[in-house]
Amino acid sequence: MKKTISILSCLLLLAGAISCGGGKNVKESSSDFSLDQKPDSTPATRDRAKGVAAIFDNDKALARDRALNDARNKLVEKVLGSTITGESVMENYELIKHLVQARSYGLVKKEKIIDEHADADLYTIEIEGTVEQAVVEDAIEDALNRYGKPKFMVLIRETFERKMNPPGFTETEILMQERMGEAGFEFVDMQTVQDLMKRQYGRMSMALNGQVTEDVRELLLNDNGAEVLIIGTAQTKDQSEVLRAYTAQMKSKSAIVRLKAIDVYSGRILATTSKDAPGVHIQSDTASKRAIEAVLKKILGGRDEATGKNIPGPFMEEIIRQFVKSATHRQISVYITGLDYNGLKKFRNEVEHRVRGVQQVLEKGRVGRAARIEVIFAGTTGEFIDELKAKADRLGFDFQIPESFPNRITLQAKVIDAKSISK
């Protein structure tokens, strides 16, 4: 995915700026990477930056962590802004801002605290540190592995040699999975798709029409792990008359493929495309198959003969780019029991302000001591659960999570003694 990495590199460079600040009162620190880890890498750049954060609920330790992260973000942005230029940075500035808060990669090395102080409302830190290109490249690769290879389900209505083929085992689906599988993408098994078309025809028909409702999402994502749904049509037509002046033996076919990719988590359209191409062979069905292959090469990309590496086409590039963006704003449904009104309010406030990666917490309704909330999170549901469990005592709650799925969890909570909450 060399081309994908080159396109996404500028987008993901800032994603690693956030680091897991531990709140320790030290004047010098370093991350897991070593500056001499890659002696042949490009020269590192050293500079200074200042970060600030609001002090919430008199928690200066948390404010310090956030101010330090803010300083690291600004330092990476400052260094890269002075060393990297290009249209992709400007075109994708909004995406860069989303990715800044995604994950921690430790891009600032040999970090020193130059100054830090707190007033009534703000904590301020100035740091000096080094940003190394080789470590940035490692962060990009890790981010692509984390977000850039979702699991797919493909549903294509196909007209092949005048025969209508229903989704589940069409020539187009087989060819797509072969080509994308070579690039390392995973799919819901074709036999599973065929069974679902028989047993869950209503919900699968809605999916085929791009209607990702809650029950469709439950089937595709929670039951089968499909994170991206690709739907569309494929048609082949005969155009052998164009060859009759040269030969009566060869068959010429044309194919047109129309595709739409949908993020199953949110129902958002990630990418659309429509391409056509010809195919020639002595056998009609083989000519049609070659025409579809030619179209898919335009759409999905293929193997570079010179390097042997798979180079994604524009459709796949856009899916990856948009899915990475969506992954930093993942919507997770939390069904929570055991808290009264005040307890639920406290839970929302604590999670929104203290759990790393949480961007927003929205209440969607409650009945008695049961409620449903939506958490907007930069990462996966598993990562959110890990963060929640790790900070349970500091948040002032005891948690039990009997069920978890890719886009929702069931949580049993109770408030613990306020004295055990970290100040």
69 and 179 share a domain?
Answer: no
- Specify the DSSP element, H or E, that contains 395: helix 392-395
Higher-confidence position of 397 and 96: 397
The answer for 289, left when phi > 0, alpha when psi is -120 to 50, beta otherwise, is alpha
408 and 306 share a domain?
Answer: no
290 and 230 share a domain?
Answer: yes
Mean pLDDT (whole number) for 60-83: 78
Q: DSSP class of residue 414? A: E
35 and 170 share a domain?
Answer: no
306 and 185 share a domain?
Answer: yes
Domain boundary among 326, 345, 365: 326
What spatial distance separates the first Cα and last Cα of the chain, rounded to whole Å? 46
318 and 202 share a domain?
Answer: yes
Q: Which amino acid is at 173?
A: E
Domain boundary among 147, 175, 206: 147
- Specify the DSSP element, H or E, that contains 122: strand 122-131
- Specify the DSSP element, H or E, that contains 194: helix 190-199
Max avg pLDDT among 170-179, 234-243, 303-312, 317-326: 170-179
pLDDT at position 338, please?
A: 93
390 phi and psi angles, rounded to 5 deg: -65, -30
Q: Quick check: 316 and 185 in contact, CB under 8 A?
A: no
217's CB contacts (< 8 A; 6+ apart) are: 264, 265, 267, 407
Other CB atoms within 10 A of residue 218 CB: 15
Measure CA 81 to chain center: 24
Q: Can you read off the two tokens belonging to residue 249? A: 């033996």
Which residues are registered as beta bridge partners of 53? 123
Q: Specify burial of residue 339 (Cβ count, 10 A radius: 0-12, 13-18, 19+).
A: buried
266 and 321 share a domain?
Answer: yes
Q: Tell me if residue 374 falls in helix, strand or coil.
A: strand
3-state SS, one letter per residue, for 34-75: CCCCCCCCCCCEEEEEEEEEECCCCCHHHHHHHHHHHHHHHH
253 and 375 share a domain?
Answer: no
Max avg pLDDT among 14-18, 61-65, 381-385: 381-385
Q: What is the pLDDT of residues 183-210, one digit of tens each?
A: 888 999 999 999 999 999 999 999 999 9
Q: Quick check: 415 and 342 in contact, CB under 8 A?
A: no
Domain boundary among 147, 181, 203: 147
Q: What is the CATH number of the domain that holds 192?
A: 3.40.50
Mean pLDDT (whole number) for 15-24: 36
Q: What is the pLDDT of residues 123-161, one digit of tens each?
A: 999 999 887 766 655 655 565 566 667 899 999 999 998
Which residues are registered as beta bridge partners of 360? 376
- Tell me the residue ranges of DSSP E strands in 323-369: 330-337, 358-367
The pTM for the full model equals: 0.67
pLDDT at position 306, please?
A: 77
Report the domain count for the chain: 3
pLDDT at position 136, please?
A: 59
Q: What is the CATH number of the domain that holds 55?
A: 3.30.1660.40
178 and 307 share a domain?
Answer: yes
Q: What is the CATH number of the domain that holds 345?
A: 3.30.70
The answer for 276, left when phi > 0, alpha when psi is -120 to 50, beta otherwise, is beta
Confidence bin at 273 (pLDDT 50/70/90): very high
Mean pLDDT (whole number) for 172-189: 90
pLDDT at position 270, please?
A: 93
156 and 279 share a domain?
Answer: yes
Q: What is the pLDDT of residues 75-124, one digit of tens each?
A: 877 776 655 444 443 444 444 444 444 443 467 788 899 999 999 889 99
Q: What is the CA radius of gyration of the chain?
A: 26
Distance CA 218, CA 220 (A): 6
191 and 314 share a domain?
Answer: yes
342 and 356 share a domain?
Answer: yes
321 phi and psi angles, rounded to 5 deg: -60, -45
Q: DSSP class of residue 14? A: G
Which residue range is the domain that position 106 belongs to? 2-147
